[in-house]
């Protein structure tokens, strides 16, 4: 019997952490989201909610979102490149990053801002309005310790600044569990 992410999110709020830890050791009861994080991950507290083995790295120096403009032009399409490359000193937290994933949102206040797009046939990224995430194909790394994704963001027609890009990425050890992974967080604000 397989249980979904919503079931484990509910359990995490109702059952003490030590009990959840031992439940996670039972095969099939807990797994990572290598097929992509749930679309509700931001509202649920981010990737650390499921990848809780170590503290999240806030303002992570190894997680970058390139291509964000200093000023936003209404309706303009921007190419954004997400990279996650752990430094040697980060590898003591995770032996080797064998898989990786991300979740990205664009907001103006509490409202979605603009829309994300993918170009051509791209199986590594999925988009849903002002949300983007990696897929199972996108979590595979051709080279260990080097993850890269491309997504396009179309600015809203009525730009209301500031726009905040919240980015979470998981450097995963590849064992398809919630343990041994490191969550990195980056927040980028445009138009402050």
**pLDDT value, residue 6:** 43
Rounded Cα distance between 23 and 25, Å, is 5
Position 130 scores a pLDDT of 95
Residue 52: its pLDDT value, please?
59
pLDDT (0 to 100) of residue 105: 95
Question: What pLDDT was estimated at residue 178?
Answer: 73
* Tens-place pLDDT, residues 23-62: 344 333 344 555 667 666 665 566 655 665 677 777 788 8
Instruction: Tell me if residue 5 falls in helix, strand or coil.
Output: helix
Q: What is the pLDDT of residue 176?
A: 78
> So what's the pLDDT on residue 76?
95
Whole-number Å distance between alpha carbons of 12 and 28? 16
| Binned average pLDDT, 10 residues per bin, the chain of 192 residues | 40 42 39 61 62 72 92 94 82 72 92 91 88 90 88 89 90 80 89 72
Cα–Cα nearest to 158, from 114, 102, 103, 107: 114
Q: What domains does the chain contain, in order, with CATH numbers? A: 1-30 (no CATH), 33-190 (2.60.40.10)
pTM for the predicted model, two decimal places: 0.76
The torsion angles phi and psi of 47, rounded to 5 degrees, stand at: -65, -25
């Amino acid at each position: 019997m397989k249980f979904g992410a919503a079931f484990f999110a509910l359990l995490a709020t109702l059952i003490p952490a030590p009990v959840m830890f031992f439940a996670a050791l039972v095969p099939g009861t807990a797994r990572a989201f290598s097929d992509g994080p749930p679309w509700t991950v931001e509202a649920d507290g981010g990737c650390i909610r499921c990848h809780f083995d170590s503290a999240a790295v806030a303002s992570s120096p190894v997680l970058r979102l390139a291509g964000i403009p200093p000023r936003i032009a209404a309706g303009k399409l921007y190419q954004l490149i997400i990279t996650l490359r752990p430094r040697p000193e980060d590898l003591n937290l995770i032996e080797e990053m064998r898989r990786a994933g991300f979740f990205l949102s664009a907001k103006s206040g509490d409202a979605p801002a603009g829309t994300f797009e993918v170009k051509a046939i791209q199986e590594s990224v999925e988009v849903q309005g002002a949300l983007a995430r990696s897929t199972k194909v996108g979590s595979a790394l051709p080279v260990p310790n080097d993850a890269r994704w491309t997504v396009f963001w179309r600015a809203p027609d009525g730009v209301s600044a500031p726009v905040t890009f919240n980015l979470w990425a998981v450097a995963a050890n590849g064992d398809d569990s919630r343990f041994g992974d490191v969550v990195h967080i980056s927040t980028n604000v445009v138009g402050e």
